Structure 1
């Protein structure tokens, strides 16, 4: 009888302990955190923005068709600033071919310009010349390579400027002529994406507007060779 009572007590204690253990809260090991996948910046799409900078002339000259009248040396310089709009495209098949992120783009800009210079010839014969760029525009292609938010690019295309040319000669003939100057522009820059929609860049461009010609009268003609170097900073909004 005592054995039966002892076995019953042991069974009761065992069952009670099992029930108590079942009532205890379960502590599961938390899963390891999963690192967020950071997507590279997507350069493809339309964008628009504003830019400003400084332009300075190359070795420009005003030449005359009169024998013995030396050239007038001009180096126009001044502020340029305006707006731009463009589109970038990063084709996957080119990226796969060359093993890096390749970008193709097209961009147009228009700018107010206060770029001018004047001078007389060194012989002191009275020849006077002045060139002034009032506003300018360009339509260009862009080719570049991207490293996530960084873009290094080259650019080039057609350029246009509204130009005033003033001149005088030793005979007292003077002229002011407004002309349309067409040429080309080439350069390159570095661009960085500040956010998913804002980018900023620094760019250098050389622009050659060719020759601007003016007739001073009396058979005297003036020809101004006009080209500029320009450094610009810009900010763009990517749509």
Structure 2
């Protein structure tokens, strides 16, 4: 699925808008929504109904919600705990070889993570993040043993970073890149995401 650059250009413009001092924006609880680009890259994955050897990737869109808590350790250092829920759209990864078919269709994901950020200005936070991700998917296999369908769970870790800009003392916008490794053992399942989010700070 092809995505235009327009939403990300608009997001970058929003982040660059001058905002008044927002010293308390990055302290306390917050919740928000986010959306963006996602690439699922699947080599081979061991599933509950058999091994899915795919060797394919797919670009798609993703959207979700998140909530967390910011703690200002110093005037410039911000530490955060965050949880999120997301869903992909048109992100099924499939490979067909003759009469054999292997398909993994991500349905939704949960993540738990932590952020460590530095306030380069009172309004702009640069941060890195890491955490745990759990994704639920539908699996389909067709081979000499017949056609099989099932559900499976893929989990692992994620790393990333981004920039968050306070628009005022309650609203912030952010751009973030995230890499997730959902493979285990001989499985290879990677996910790359570029996300734009808007948060409300309580």
TM-score higher than 0.5: yes
Q: Within 1, Cα distance between the matches of 2:146 and 2:188?
A: 20
Q: Within 1, Cα distance between the matches of 2:73 and 2:54?
A: 50
Corresponding residue for residue 59 of structure 2? 77
Q: CA deviation at 1:63?
A: 6.3
Q: Within 2, Cα distance between the matches of 1:88 and 1:167?
A: 44
Q: Does the Cα contact within 8 Å between 2:22 and 2:169 map onto a contact in 1?
A: no
Aligned pairs, how many?
Answer: 175
Q: Within 2, Cα distance between the matches of 1:165 and 1:82?
A: 22
Corresponding residue for residue 96 of structure 2? 120
Deviations 1:76-101 (A, max 9, x none): 33221111101111113xx5xxxxx1
Q: CA deviation at 1:127?
A: 2.4
1:174 equivalent in alignment to 2:174:
no
**Which of the pair has more CA radius of gyration?**
1
Q: Within 2, Cα distance between the matches of 1:71 and 1:196?
A: 49
Q: TM-score, normalised by structure 1?
A: 0.67
Corresponding residue for residue 202 of structure 1? 175
Q: Does the Cα contact within 8 Å between 1:76 and 1:132 map onto a contact in 2?
A: no
Q: Does the Cα contact within 8 Å between 1:72 and 1:127 map onto a contact in 2?
A: no
Q: TM-score, normalised by structure 2?
A: 0.78
Q: CA deviation at 1:226?
A: 2.1
Q: Within 2, Cα distance between the matches of 1:200 and 1:183?
A: 27
Q: CA deviation at 1:164?
A: 1.1
Q: CA deviation at 1:53?
A: 1.2
Q: Within 1, Cα distance between the matches of 2:194 and 2:175?
A: 7
Q: Does the Cα contact within 8 Å between 1:62 and 1:129 map onto a contact in 2?
A: no
Q: Within 2, Cα distance between the matches of 1:151 and 1:54?
A: 22
What's the RMSD between the two structures over aligned residues?
Answer: 2.3
Q: CA deviation at 1:120?
A: 2.0
1:126-165 alignment, distance < 5 Å: 126-146=99-119, 147-165=121-139
Corresponding residue for residue 235 of structure 1? 198
Structure 1 stretches of 4+ with a deviation exceeding 4 A read: none
Q: Within 2, Cα distance between the matches of 1:189 and 1:116?
A: 27
Q: Judging by fraction of residues, say which structure has more strand.
A: 2
Corresponding residue for residue 191 of structure 1? 164
What are structure 2's unaligned runs of at least 5 residues? 1-19, 47-51
Q: Judging by fraction of residues, say which structure has more helix.
A: 1
